[in-house]
Homo-oligomer: A and B are copies of this chain.
Amino acid sequence: MRSRSGGRPTLEEVAARAGVGRGTVSRVINGSPRVSDATRAAVEAAVAELGYVPNTAARALAANRTDAIALVVPEPETRFFAEPYFSDMLKGVGAELSDTEMQLLLIFAGGDRERRRLAQYLAAHRVDGVLLVSVHADDPLPDLLAQLEIPAVISGPRSAAETLTSVDSDNYGGGRSAVEHLLSRGRRKIAHITGRLDVYGAQRRVDGYRDALRDAGQEADELLIEPGDFTEEGGRRAMTKLLGRRPDLDAVFAGSDVMAAGARQVLREEGRRIPDDVALVGYDDSAIARHMDPPLTSVRQPIEEMGRRMIDLLLGEIADRRPAVSRDLERRQVVLATELVTRTSS
């Protein structure tokens, strides 16, 4: 029961089979309401009998869309797998996309070469939209996307003046809550190991740290702030420096769980007990936090939820752009609340 030339059945063949025109079949396939029930049933029967599956290439050509979006990770694969952040986000993205026709592509653009390939790829408009995660302040990718007029949503704005639609967690509030928690536990000399400061979110956590101290009538002591780089080794280095400068510190707020793990090692080596001598708070509430000894108090970001919201917004942008509708510039910056998960390290 195969069609002409042994190939896959076409719209036209379905139309012939159902005794209707091409347009009608197209309408049924695309769920247009302007089809009578009887006709719809006839077409659906023909589709089933022939095992018809639309030709995506033809559709893409005619409709000028691809029904695909890309999750672009401007990091090497290794990093992607190492950080649970991405896995959680992917879960949210996948979930939100699962009742859609959209196909998700995962594109790594760590090196220069991959960068160039990606630029070509985007220039060819091979995707309808882009999800951008983990972007640094000076990354030109967002501007390229804007120039190509490709709908895009960024996770973590590059700055307060981000022009792209973005979804973020409340890094400022997260930083505040960590410090407020430590203050409430009676800590007074609270150090902060920051993330990479060219990441806006890390910057905001520092702001939260500062303001929480200020609101408690305590000006931040610059010697208690040491920049890290989100790695374990960076956490170790920062902790060592902090202990050298302020041996009397009684708490550490690290900008990520991984850095907290590094800090913990140094504290142990120096004979400081956690939390008795020094309280420790991390950020991300990743698996590391739960398995650390002692279990780590950490600021949880709703990463999966962020993934879902990003898809929401992106699909919205894509839909908006289709009939060249006016775009509302409000509510393009979504910020989700964080939550402090208290464990025995503080």
Chain A residues proximal to chain B, CB less than 8 Å:
8, 51, 53-58, 60-61, 66, 77-78, 81, 84, 86-87, 90-91, 94, 98, 103, 105-106, 108, 113-114, 117, 120-121, 123-126
Instruction: Flag if B123 contacts A94 (CB, 8 Å).
Output: no
| A8, A56, A84, A94 — most chain B CB neighbours (10 Å) | A56
The answer for the CA separation of A58 and B125 in the assembled complex, in Å, is 12
The answer to whether A53 touches B98, judged by C-beta atoms less than 8 angstroms apart, is no
Question: Which listed residue, B54, B105, B114, B121, touches A124 by the CB 8 Å rule?
Answer: B54
Please, how many angstroms separate the alpha-carbon atoms of A341 and B113 in the complex?
34
Chain B residues near A125 (CB-CB < 8 A)? 8, 55
Query: A60 CA to B57 CA in the complex, in Å?
Result: 6
Is there an interface contact between B108 and A94, defined as CB atoms closer than 8 Å?
yes
Shortest beta-carbon distance from A29 to chain B in Å: 12
Question: B124–A56 contact, CB under 8 A?
Answer: yes
Across the interface, which residues of B come within 8 angstroms of A121, CB to CB?
Answer: 103
Task: Known A61-B58, A77-B87, A77-B91; judge A53-B8 contact (CB<8 A).
Answer: no
A291 to chain B, nearest CB (A): 12
Checking B51, B94, B114, B123 against A53 with a beta-carbon cut-off of 8 angstroms, the contacting residue is: B123
One complex includes copies of this chain to the number of 2
List residues of chain B with CB within 8 A of the CB of A103. Answer: 105, 121, 126
Q: What are 29 sample pairs from A and B whose C-beta atoms fall under 8 A apart?
A: A8-B125, A51-B123, A53-B120, A53-B123, A53-B124, A54-B124, A55-B124, A55-B125, A56-B60, A56-B124, A56-B126, A57-B57, A60-B60, A60-B61, A61-B61, A77-B87, A77-B94, A78-B87, A78-B91, A81-B81, A81-B84, A81-B86, A81-B87, A94-B108, A98-B117, A103-B121, A103-B126, A105-B105, A106-B106
- State which of B61, B84, B94, B113 has its C-beta within 8 Å of the C-beta of A57: B61
Task: Tell me the minimal C-beta distance from A253 to chain B in angstroms.
Answer: 27
Closest to A126 in B: B56
Shortest CB distance A6–B (Å): 10
A318 to chain B, nearest CB (A): 16
Which residue of chain B lies nearest to A66 when distances are taken between CB atoms in the complex? B57
CA distance A284 to B117 in the complex (A): 33
Residues of B near A58 (CB, < 8 A) are 57, 61
- Chain B minimum-CB-distance residue to A71: B106
Chain B residues lying within 8 Å of A84, measured Cβ to Cβ, are 81
